[in-house]
A and B are shown apart, each in its own frame.
Chain A
Amino acid sequence: MATTTPRIRRHAPWTPYAFMAPFLVIFATFVLAPALLGIWMSLHDWDFMLENRPFVGLDNYLALFDSTSAVFEMFWNGMRATAIFTVASVPFLVAIPLALAVMLNRRFPGRTVFRAIFFMPYVLGVAVVGLLFRFMLDPNIGIVNGLLGTSIPWITAQPWAWISLVAMTVWWTLGFNTIIYLAGLQDIPSELYDAAKVDGASAWQQFRHVTLPGLRTVQLFVVTITILASANMFGQALLVTNGGPGDSTRTALIVMLAEGLESFRMGSAAAMSYLLAVFLGIVSIVQVLAMRERRPRWQS
């Protein structure tokens, strides 16, 4: 950070600000301003369609906790759907990429090709992935039932709908976490494995006592971003199950965007988004505290 440069006059005092200005203008307009505007909107009865947008204090937030309000039911149904999806998908998105990364970390011909193959679905957009899986999971003509010889209602009944959404998300995004684990694995000094082998450690023991402790920081990062990404679940549920069956896969983000950008009750929607963000913040803090405990001996 501190570049050890002699204090000579290298540029006019305004030069740095000129370099910063283009980004700062966009940053102020589309990050700082909306962050403040969102809070302000959430404190008003901000209806896009109305002239009057009276100040209502915390009413938009309180309504989310009031079981008699119009939004209570759908908001918490959405929160529950997002929570189910997160709890169901994060373990797979943490464990499978770790296993793949350990496998790809071995030296064998073509490993960079396989690395690219596992990552490939990630470069597709959710719209493409959603349409593709809607077709493949079709109960009547889909290839998944065709190959399995089953007639499972993948989209129209629970728990199949959740299984479908989790499986397609794992297929789609697993390459991202794999690459991050792989980078982490390559940072573990190979001397540690040599030492473990000298001590007669089995492959499993090496994984348990060298690999896992060495990946602790990376693991923390992966779990955090995967929880964040799962909480953003939107496109898959919209395109594959369309929130169904019933409203069971109508996630918090679908509810929030419908409230704000379809019904145009933006004050209420802004309150929803902040409440979801606060929940995520709490989850992240708890998870960081839970995972920070033991550090690998060679890192402390």
Chain B
Amino acid sequence: MAVLTRPPAGSTPHPPPAAQRSGRPPGGLARQGMFWLFLLVLTVIFIGPIVWMFLTSIKTNPEATSVPPTLLPSSPTFEAYEGLLQLEGSYPVLRWFFNSLMAATLHMALVLAVASTAAYALARLHFRGRGVLFVVIVSTLFVPGFVFLIPNYLIIDQLGWLDTVWALAVPGAAGAFGVFFLRQFFAMLPTELEEAALIDGANQWEIFTRIVLPNSKPALATLAVLSFLSNWNDFIWPIYVLFSPERLTLPAGLRLLQGAYTTDYPVIMAGAFVASVPVLILFLFTQRYVIEGVSRSGLKG
């Protein structure tokens, strides 16, 4: 079947569009036009607000709040960004940026470390209670996260972690998703290499670090990006466990900024844009991994 329908060499690698394939009557061209127009409208709807955020951030405040709004800035200016940097003191935006970066990076590293080792044990090693442990861990995926907020606040307080980066980086690493995700991946890896390494006298740590991890780069990359994104964007938890202005993350700080600069929209949008750029760039380069990770999360259902 596949051989019969293979296009001649040198032709486009894409199969012809569905309309052509099913041999629609001449009306097909109009339908194609409608289809692309529809896609264009959707694209504007999805990207438009993000572009609008940036355009506003390079306007002056009178222009940003003018009625009717101007689409493009009449004279682009970076004064909102300069304004952001001058807000040191109560609104140290640069500091927030590095706090977010630090927390998200630490969180990502911790998730990779603890989830990969646990997933390896659950996928490959034999021990009493393995099945029960796996069921207990996975079942917590179905408990809504908000039931942990109040008691975890107390635990963080007892650990003396309130208002520190540890409060941001560590508790989320207890999430079952990473362990579940990597376990499923490790379990699908062929065992031949490991058998050979065992015969050569390798121990489990060597097998884990030299064979399993190097062969799991896509899964590890997916988990790394997803955990970085979720930690960078987290809002509920940081606004309660952080107090000092210089300890805040960007999302928590943006809320302060909104409260203080209610009507200075270029400054607020500049702050929002600064918080968006890292994740948008990260997504641009890793969208395959992100989308792959999200699709997999659906298959467990």
Contact = CB atoms under 8 A, between A and B. Distances in A.
Given A26-B173, A132-B53, A234-B236, A123 B147 contact: no
A273 B126 contact: no
Interface in B32-67: 35, 39, 42-43, 45-47, 49-50, 52-53, 56, 64-67
B236 A235 contact: yes
Contact of A16 (B18, B127, B235): B127
Contacts of B280: 120, 123-124
A19 B147 contact: no
Contact of B204 (A15, A20, A231): A15
A183 interface: yes
A256 interface: yes
Contacts of B65: 141
B145 A232 contact: yes
B155 A22 contact: no
A34 B46 CA distance: 39
Contacts of A41: 150-151, 154
A127 B249 CA distance: 11
Contact of A256 (B146, B154, B208): B146
Interface in A166-186: 171, 176, 179-180, 182-184
B144 A228 contact: yes
Contact of B117 (A13, A23, A31, A176): A23
Contact of A120 (B50, B144, B152, B265): B50
A34 B137 CA distance: 14
A239 B272 CA distance: 13
A120 B144 CA distance: 25
Contact of A280 (B14, B144, B301): B144
A179 B295 contact: yes
B156 to A, nearest CB: 9
A58 interface: no
Contacts of A179: 291, 294-295, 298
Interface in A1-32: 1, 3, 5, 10-11, 13, 15-17, 19-20, 22-24, 26-27, 29-31
B291 A119 contact: yes
Interface stretch (A64-72, A103-111, A155-163): A103-111
Contacts of A135: 56, 265, 268-269
Interface in B226-255: 229, 232-236, 240, 250-252, 254-255
Nearest to B175: A31
Interface in B113-151: 113-115, 117-118, 120-122, 124-127, 130, 133, 137, 140, 143-151
A118 B50 CA distance: 12
B144 A232 contact: yes
B191 A22 contact: no
A149 to B, nearest CB: 9
For the residues of B in contact with A, the DSSP-based class is helix
A277 B155 contact: no
B279 A107 contact: no
B294 A132 contact: no
Contacts of B290: 119, 123
B17 A107 contact: yes
Nearest to B299: A183
Nearest to A179: B294
B276 A128 contact: yes
A143 interface: yes
Interface string A96-137: 000010000011110000111111110111111001111110
Contacts of B193: none
Contact of A128 (B43, B146, B203, B254): B254
Contacts of A107: 14-15, 17-18
Contacts of B47: 117, 120
B185 interface: no
Nearest to B45: A171
A222 interface: yes
A30 B117 contact: no
Nearest to A39: B151
13 contacts: A11-B203, A13-B127, A16-B127, A16-B130, A22-B113, A23-B115, A27-B137, A27-B176, A30-B152, A107-B17, A128-B233, A277-B143, A277-B146
Interface of A: 1, 3, 5, 10-11, 13, 15-17, 19-20, 22-24, 26-27, 29-31, 33-35, 37-38, 41, 48, 100, 106-109, 114-121, 123-128, 131-136, 140-141, 143, 146, 171, 176, 179-180, 182-184, 217-218, 220-222, 224, 228, 231-232, 234-235, 238-239, 253, 256-257, 260-261, 266, 269-270, 273-274, 276-277, 280
Minimum-distance CB pairs A-B, first 10: A221-B301, A125-B233, A180-B298, A183-B295, A34-B151, A127-B251, A23-B118, A19-B121, A16-B127, A30-B174
Given A30-B171, A269-B150, 15 more contacts: A10-B126, A16-B126, A17-B127, A20-B118, A29-B155, A31-B140, A41-B150, A123-B282, A125-B279, A128-B251, A132-B50, A180-B294, A228-B144, A257-B240, A266-B154
